[in-house]
């Protein structure tokens, strides 16, 4: 063990330090275990769906009295899943089947990559679902505590809501980039990449939403949304 002098005394140097060598313990353990990789991926995707359902379950009877979006009142950005979210379905084949297929693809891809790149790959993939899941969880908590202490009603245009969500994603992406730079973890670096791409995806998704007209007026009833 080598030591170096510092203002605070002597501390061990790390001449054998390799970027990500000790910072990816769990991710590196998963290398060569495709079943575990696929299972974790499936759990993360299922959690995404269940948290979305939980949001709608909490929003409909309580929070919707104070906050709604227009021209379409929904929390689901994917139009193919809006009906299932509104019905609060626990199992939705349109989500479950792609989740199973994608989990298998991720598991198989992890066996093809060199071991040094596997943590980066897992950080990119899992980071996407962790970012979305944390956003859902924050919304669930907000809807829950919003049962009390909120008065009046807010009508928010979908594009305005999308801009706010994009700002949240961009802020989280900056945090992940900072953590990746400071930690040296290639797994966190992969998550930072997913944070940046998620922010860009949210920004591009805004163009699919209706524009806010210059003569925008507040809806006067639920039927206007």
Average pLDDT over residues 68-78: 75
Q: What is the pLDDT of residues 155-196, one digit of tens each?
A: 888 888 889 889 999 999 999 999 999 988 888 999 999 999
Is the pLDDT at 154 greater than 80? The verdict is yes
Q: Using one digit for the tens of pLDDT, what is the confidence trace for 15-63?
A: 343 444 555 666 667 777 889 999 999 999 999 888 888 888 877 777 7
Higher pLDDT, 65 or 108: 108
The pLDDT, as a whole number, for residue 147 is 81
How many helices, marked H, and strands, marked E, lie in the chain? 7, 4
The closest of 59, 74, 77, 71 to 157, measured between CA atoms, is 71
User: How confident is the model at residue 202, as a pLDDT?
Assistant: 86
Which pLDDT belongs to residue 203?
87
What does the pLDDT average to over 79-98?
A: 76
Average pLDDT over residues 207-214: 84
- Give me the residue spans of the domains in the chain: 23-211
DSSP state of 206: G
Across the strands, what pairs with 70?
Answer: 157
Long-range pairs for 76-84 at CB < 8 Å and ≥24 separation? 76/52, 77/205
Burial of 122 (0-12, 13-18, 19+ CB in 10 A): buried
What does DSSP assign to residue 207?
G
Average pLDDT over residues 95-123: 90
Give residue 3's pLDDT band: very low, low, confident or very high (50, 70, 90): very low
pLDDT, position 70: 83
pLDDT digits (tens, 9 = 90+) for 90-106: 777 788 899 999 999 99
Judge whether 140 and 56 are in contact, CB under 8 Å: no
Residue whose pair of structure tokens reads 């198989």 in the numeric block: 108
Q: Is the pLDDT of residue 14 over 50?
A: no
């Amino acid at each position: 063990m080598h030591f170096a002098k510092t203002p605070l005394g002597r501390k061990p140097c790390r001449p054998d330090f390799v970027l990500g060598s000790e910072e990816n313990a769990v991710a590196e353990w998963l290398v060569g275990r495709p079943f575990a990789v696929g299972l974790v991926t499936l759990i993360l995707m299922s959690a995404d769906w269940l948290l979305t359902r939980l949001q709608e379950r909490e929003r409909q009877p309580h929070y919707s009295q104070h906050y709604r979006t227009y021209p379409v009142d929904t929390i689901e950005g994917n139009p193919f899943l809006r009906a299932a979210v509104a019905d609060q379905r626990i199992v939705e084949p349109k989500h479950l089947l792609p989740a199973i297929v994608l989990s298998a693809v991720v598991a198989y891809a992890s066996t093809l990559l060199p071991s040094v790149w596997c943590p980066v790959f897992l950080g990119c993939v899992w980071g996407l679902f962790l970012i979305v899941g944390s956003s859902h969880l924050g919304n669930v908590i907000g809807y829950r505590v919003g049962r009390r202490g909120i008065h009046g009603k807010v009508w928010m245009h979908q594009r305005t809501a999308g801009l706010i969500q994009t700002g949240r994603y961009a802020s989280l992406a900056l945090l992940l980039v900072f953590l990746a730079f400071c930690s040296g973890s290639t797994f966190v670096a992969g998550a930072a990449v997913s944070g940046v791409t998620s922010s860009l995806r949210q920004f591009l998704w805004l163009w699919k939403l209706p524009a806010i007209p210059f003569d925008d007026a507040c809806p006067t009833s639920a039927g206007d949304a």
